[in-house]
Amino acid sequence: MAIGELYDVVIGCPDPDGLAEFYRQVIGGRIADSGGEWTTLVTPDGRRVSFQRVEGFSPPRWPGQEHPRQIHLDVKVTDLDESEPLVLRLGATLLEGSPKPIGFRVYADPAGHPFCLVTN
């Protein structure tokens, strides 16, 4: 049984509004949220792709690893307090500074990639 469901794919970038508009024109959909730091594109079939501002952004370089890809998954869950121990048992680590009271928490997967559990 799964702990949650894929909610969002989040891409780090220097200009969330601009990159969301680029992908809107490439894959269609509508801009659902826009606020300077975070912009969400909802595709015609209801999938979400969000763009998060990263200060000092260094674009990834292919195929090298000097500047790795900047992307993370948001996993929608019913209850953060119930889901947290489940992902921790699987090998996740709660990242320092992850907010507890609002609708998401940030973890690292066993390989160190960040992902979020979200309730909104």
pLDDT of residue 46: 95
Model pLDDT for residues 6-24, shown as the tens digit of each residue: 999 999 899 999 999 989 9
- What domains can be seen in the chain, in order of their start residue? 5-118 (3.10.180.10)
pLDDT of residue 120: 76
Global pTM reads 0.77
Are 94 and 84 in contact, with CB atoms under 8 Å apart?
Answer: yes
Q: Which residues of the chain have pLDDT under 50?
A: none
Three-state SS annotation for the chain: CCCCEEEEEEEEECCHHHHHHHHHHHHCCEEEEECCCEEEEECCCCCEEEEEECCCCCCCCCCCCCCCCCEEEEEECCCHHHHHHHHHHCCCEECCCCCCCCCEEEEECCCCCEEEEECC
- The Cβ of residue 116 has, within 10 Å, a number of other Cβ atoms equal to 20
CA distance between the termini of the chain = 21
pLDDT of residue 99: 72
pLDDT of residue 82: 94
